[in-house]
Structure 1
Amino acid sequence: MKVMQSRGSPQPGPGAPFAVTVQEREAAVVVHTSGELDASTVPRLRAIMRGVLSGAPAVLVVDLTGVTFLGSAGMHLLLEIQNLAGDTEVRVVADAHSTVKPLRLTRLVDVLDLYPTLAQALRQA
């Protein structure tokens, strides 16, 4: 299993520091994000996702279980990743109110392949 981490510096105020971990797991690449996913953090995650997708994994799992805030820029990035994925199957893991509620309100749950746990997303990989 190959692991890559990208950590941001702690931000003042209520927001948690933004961090990204990339792991290769059997037939899938898992990108775990934590902290706030908003306009200030999306560019870093976009660059990481493009790098991951350039390797054309069979399955890309975007794990949002550590995300404390999902802004519109983060939701737009999820759609962008899905559009850029080509033959890569994109799965999104979200279980917290902070991520599931905005995905439901915007009806992105209807277009994203959403799983409540990482184990369930990987089970079918």
Structure 2
Amino acid sequence: MTVVPDPRNCPGLAAEALRRDHAIVVRLAGELDLATVPRLRQALAAALAERPALLVVDLSAVEFLAAAAIGELVSARQGGRGATPIRLVATRAAIRRPLEITGVTREIPVYPTVGQALAE
């Protein structure tokens, strides 16, 4: 299932959601900045609306992560009020580091692979 209808409508960001047993994995690619945050919000809201047991947000193909996008990730966690745990996948230091510096990793666990995020 594709969450973002057509990546050409939002240059810089592509997103898709895949169901994996009890979880939904939202894979993001490109840049997560002020211009693409509305699509990120839409993708996360659509995935959470399905009430999965777990939401994994795969940031492995993300090239840039702005503060506005980090805020959306935190909002998605808080918006779920704990009903749906969220886990992040970040392989690149340029993505992991802002998550660590802002303290997000204390609230949302970060894994090196989707497989590990699903297995925990």
- Count of aligned pairs: 117
Q: Deviations over 1:72-93 (max 9, x none)?
A: 0010011001001231111111
1 CA distance for matches of 2:2 and 2:100?
30
Paired position in structure 2 for 1:109 = 105
- Given that 2:59 and 2:89 are in contact with CA atoms closer than 8 Å, whether structure 1 keeps it comes out as yes
Larger radius of gyration: 1
TM-score (norm 1): 0.86
Shift of 1:49: 1.2
How many percent identity over aligned positions? 35
1 CA distance for matches of 2:42 and 2:2?
13
Pairwise CA RMSD of aligned residues?
A: 1.5
AA matched with 1:47: Q
Segments of 5+ residues of structure 1 without an aligned counterpart are: 12-16
Segments of 5+ residues of structure 2 without an aligned counterpart are: none
3-state secondary structure, aligned to 2:52: coil
- Given that 1:30 and 1:63 are in contact with CA atoms closer than 8 Å, whether structure 2 keeps it comes out as yes
- Match for residue 53 of structure 1 among 48, 60, 65: 48
1 CA distance for matches of 2:87 and 2:100?
16
2 CA distance for matches of 1:51 and 1:107?
25
AA matched with 1:119: G
Q: Which has the larger helix fraction?
A: 2
Correspondence 1:4 to 2:2: yes
